[in-house]
A = this chain, B = another copy of it.
Amino acid sequence: MAWLRTLARSSRSLLSSKPSPWSVSGFHSTATAAGGGGFFSGLGSTEAGKDKPRLVVLGTGWAGCRLMKGIDTKLYDVVCISPRNHMVFTPLLASTCVGTLEFRSVAEPVGRIQPSISSAPGSYFFLARCASIDPDSHTVHCETVTDGSVKDTLEPWKFKVSYDKLVIASGAEASTFGIRGVREHAIFLREVHHAQEIRRKLLLNLMLSDVPGISEEEKRRLLHCVVIGGGPTGVEFSGELSDFIIRDVHERYSHVKDYIHVTLIEANEILSSFDVRLRTYATKQLTKSGVRLVRGIVKDVQPEKIILNDGTEVPYGLLVWSTGVGPSPFISSLQFPKSPGGRIGVDEWLRIPSVQDVFAIGDCSGFLESTGRPVLPALAQVAERQGKYLAGLLNQVCRAGGGHANRAANLELGAPFVYRHLGSMATVGRYKALVDLRQSKEAKGLSLAGFISWFIWRSAYLTRVISWRNRFYVAINWATTFVFGRDISRI
């Protein structure tokens, strides 16, 4: 703090009549701050009887956030480690790309989901990536996240955190199936910054295609939006995009409105997890809105075109890639037994059986083959249910005296985790959606399509948005879009 004192001495305050109250009180309060000016390389282990047990959560997706929301912070200190400080409400992410919703409306800061994290003395959020786990010493090794888009960012630094309980909820990664050029030229749709990139590129292409001197062919290429993958994300994004084209591009970019097209490429069937009747309905609706549905397999991705397996070349201006997820390098690097598909293997209580006090939930985990249960699909619904279940389990373990490290081995854990599918929803644009309430692909059950489904879709998501603030904003955004159209400023 020497520099601050020098600054105070050598500079005359503008308010020369009396000294700045800040410069006096400020020094006193800061000199007594915790840590005493020394260095510390992490959070050491807790002491039973003196400290609360420490729960370390890796990740801020559906699983991790639902877990933190349910944890009783009178029992545990919660330390969350994640490269992003917010949860993304993924089902509404596609809507933000075209301006139906604001980016901020679908992002929920962790501190709003679990307020203790920003105020309780032993709870923290660290903007960092977990590099490795040492289950023997109950420690995770981390590295702060740097960000190339901000000026003068620091070199990442490393630190360790001891845990009493560890929950791995760091999610999965978009799969590229080893196809060349996907990471370089396609945009995924999993994070808010992906949606921002898609939006910037779409608006840029709309404006560039209007500039004089551009050929008809180039104009058509720039405005060709290609979506790879016919799962719910790909279908919803195609639907939103065609809504945007029908309602907003026709009015606000009328010079180029006849040049913009959407193509959805899928190797098998679109929405394969849905009822056959709903699939047919979706196909009809999308085609009606101008989305071109193509069955094909991508072989190669180049800067301005993709090559399909049959040799067809498809020029594109915007390429969105949403073909499902696979294990991330971090998950693959962990030395725990894996479930089919390379996820971290867990038992019926979501524990990693080979070690003490470590759990895994969400897209990064799957039941071990030995449990005789199938690996659950990578859905928000599964992740959320697991987070909720595990929060209850951990609260119960702590109340039974097993909160601290190595104290839970002999505890009775109660009912194992059982997943009951509540159904699937997807919107296909133009105030139409699908709702499939069957419990599995084979089961019989209710399925709906059309405006009523769309209304259910919107209402369901509105009630599931976590904070009242964002619930309010999502409703306001929808109303504004309805009245004024979508926003097209490219910022």
Could you tell me which A residues sit within 8 Å of B by CB distance?
A: 1, 3-4, 6-7, 10-15, 20-23, 26, 29-30, 33, 35-43, 84-86, 102-104, 107-109, 111, 118-119, 124-128, 144, 147, 149-154, 157-159, 161, 184-185, 187, 192-193, 196-197, 200-201, 203-204, 207-208, 210-217, 220, 224, 230, 251-255, 258-259, 261, 263, 266, 269-270, 283-284, 287-288, 290-296, 303-305, 308, 310-315, 467-469, 472-473, 476, 480, 483-484, 487-491
Query: Quick check: B197 and A118 within 8 Å, CB to CB?
Result: no
Among A6, A38, A147, A152, residue most surrounded by chain B Cβ atoms (within 10 Å): A152
Q: Which of B152, B201, B315 contacts A185 (CB 8 A)?
A: B152
Closest 10 CB pairs of A and B: A86-B489, A14-B293, A127-B207, A192-B491, A107-B489, A159-B213, A11-B294, A109-B489, A469-B484, A37-B216
User: How far apart sit A109 and B200, CA to CA, in the bound complex (Å)?
Assistant: 14
Query: Quick check: A11 and B144 within 8 Å, CB to CB?
Result: no
Q: Which residues of the partner chain B approach A26 to less than 8 Å between Cβ atoms?
A: 261, 290, 292
User: How far apart sit A270 and B14, CA to CA, in the bound complex (Å)?
Assistant: 8
Query: Quick check: B258 and A29 within 8 Å, CB to CB?
Result: yes
Min distance, Cβ A332 to any Cβ of chain B, angstroms: 26
In the complex, the chain B residue whose C-beta lies closest to that of A213 is B159
Query: Quick check: B150 and A200 within 8 Å, CB to CB?
Result: yes
When A217-B1, A480-B469 are in contact, do A124 and B255 touch as well, CB less than 8 Å?
yes
Q: Which of B1, B10, B109, B490 contacts A86 (CB 8 A)?
A: B490
Q: Which of B128, B150, B261 contacts A197 (CB 8 A)?
A: B150
Query: Quick check: A185 and B119 within 8 Å, CB to CB?
Result: no
- Further contacts, 7 of them, CB under 8 A, given A15-B287, A20-B287, A42-B213: A1-B220, A12-B295, A40-B213, A118-B253, A119-B251, A472-B480, A473-B480
Min distance, Cβ A387 to any Cβ of chain B, angstroms: 19
Provide a sorted-by-A list of 15 A–B residue pairs whose CB atoms are within 8 angstroms. Answer: A7-B312, A11-B295, A11-B310, A26-B290, A30-B258, A33-B258, A41-B213, A85-B207, A102-B104, A119-B252, A126-B210, A127-B207, A127-B211, A150-B197, A151-B187
Q: Which of B154, B158, B261, B491 contacts A104 (CB 8 A)?
A: B491
Among A84, A185, A266, A484, residue most surrounded by chain B Cβ atoms (within 10 Å): A484
User: How far apart sit A483 and B107, CA to CA, in the bound complex (Å)?
Assistant: 18
Among A184, A216, A469, residue most surrounded by chain B Cβ atoms (within 10 Å): A216
Query: Quick check: A14 and B491 within 8 Å, CB to CB?
Result: no
Query: Quick check: A490 and B251 within 8 Å, CB to CB?
Result: no
Min distance, Cβ A131 to any Cβ of chain B, angstroms: 14
User: How far apart sit A103 and B103, CA to CA, in the bound complex (Å)?
Assistant: 10
When A107-B491, A212-B161 are in contact, do A204 and B147 touch as well, CB less than 8 Å?
yes
Min distance, Cβ A316 to any Cβ of chain B, angstroms: 10
Q: Which residues of the partner chain B approach A208 to less than 8 Å between Cβ atoms?
A: 127, 144, 154
Query: Quick check: B197 and A14 within 8 Å, CB to CB?
Result: no
Q: Which residues of the partner chain B approach A210 to less than 8 Å between Cβ atoms?
A: 124-126
Query: Quick check: B85 and A489 within 8 Å, CB to CB?
Result: yes
Min distance, Cβ A66 to any Cβ of chain B, angstroms: 17
Min distance, Cβ A188 to any Cβ of chain B, angstroms: 11
Query: Quick check: B6 and A290 within 8 Å, CB to CB?
Result: no
When A4-B220, A104-B487, A127-B204 are in contact, do A292 and B22 touch as well, CB less than 8 Å?
yes
